[in-house]
Chains A and B, each alone.
Chain A
Amino acid sequence: MKDIKKLPIILAVLLICLFASFPNMQMEIKFFLIAVVLCFNTFIVYKLYKQGLITKERVYLLSFFVLLTILMTIYFLSRIEG
């Protein structure tokens, strides 16, 4: 289980590289890939937490960053004009 700790960040970096290499990629494909990796990564984080390889504090930290991400998105949504 310890070996898969690096898998989520590797997948995230691969996804960024893929999007950077194909900037005109269809939005539907982009969202599909994001959804698959997001589900997979959430599953891995959950498994690691269940095995005790991730502490509760780190899960709280993750919640904080999820909140930060949401707040940033709300800020950008508020910039819509008209």
Chain B
Amino acid sequence: MYLKNQLEFSKGATDTKKVKELLSDGKLDESEIDTYFKVFSTDETKFTNYIKLQNSLYTSLNDEYNLGEISQETLIPIIEEIYIKDLLPFEERSTCKQKYIRDITSAAALALIEHGGCIALDLTVVAGIICHSAVSLIQWNSGQDALDAYHACFKK
């Protein structure tokens, strides 16, 4: 709920460039507050309510799990997992998945072509081993690259 609210709030941002500009110095001046509300499509009342709700949710989370005791190294992967599995919109997950499937199928098809090429060459045993091993290695590396890109796609 805490993360979901945070995600919903950040989704309200209309101008990402402006957000970066506002947060570049790590603090908000009095003069920037109105712009901040405008950029996040909110107003003072809504924002105060949002902060109150988040604070109470954080307190209850902290009471239950004692978040202060958990290191960032432990907490970040858990938050990422929750974010990917529960909060990331289905369409975004599906785009990453589709791209991954396309990448691995094209790597597999390419490998089939190359294995066929190795066979057609009618090589000696040693040259054949080298040829087919190289092809399998290329497929494995392409698959790993696609897997890395798939994981990175969620963190964008």
Contacts from A to B (Cβ < 8 Å): 5-13, 15-16, 19, 27, 30-31, 34-35, 37-38, 41-42, 44-45, 48, 53-54, 58-59, 61-62, 65-66, 68-70, 72-73, 75-77, 79-82
Q: Which residue of A lies closest to B113 (CB)?
A: A12
Contact indicator B139/A45 (Cβ below 8 Å): no
Main secondary structure of the interface of B (DSSP, over half): helix
Q: Which residue of A lies closest to B138 (CB)?
A: A16
* B54 proximal to A (CB < 8 A): no
10 pairs from A and B in contact (CB 8 Å cutoff): A6-B120, A8-B113, A8-B116, A11-B113, A41-B120, A53-B122, A54-B120, A65-B135, A73-B104, A76-B147
Closest beta carbon of chain B to A52's beta carbon, Å: 11
Contacts from B to A (Cβ < 8 Å): 84-85, 93, 97, 100-102, 104-122, 128, 131-132, 135-136, 138-140, 143, 146-147, 150
Cβ contact of A48, chosen from B101, B120, B146, cutoff 8 A: B120
Which of chain A's residues have a CB closer than 8 A to the CB of B111?
A: 69, 72
How many residue pairs between the two chains, A and B, have CB atoms under 8 Å in the bound complex? 115
Interface centre among B101, B119, B150 (most CB of A within 10 A): B119
Which of chain A's residues have a CB closer than 8 A to the CB of B138?
A: 16
Contact indicator A27/B102 (Cβ below 8 Å): yes
Contact indicator B115/A76 (Cβ below 8 Å): no
Which of chain B's residues have a CB closer than 8 A to the CB of A41?
A: 113, 116-117, 120
Cα distance, A10 to B118, chains bound together (Å): 10
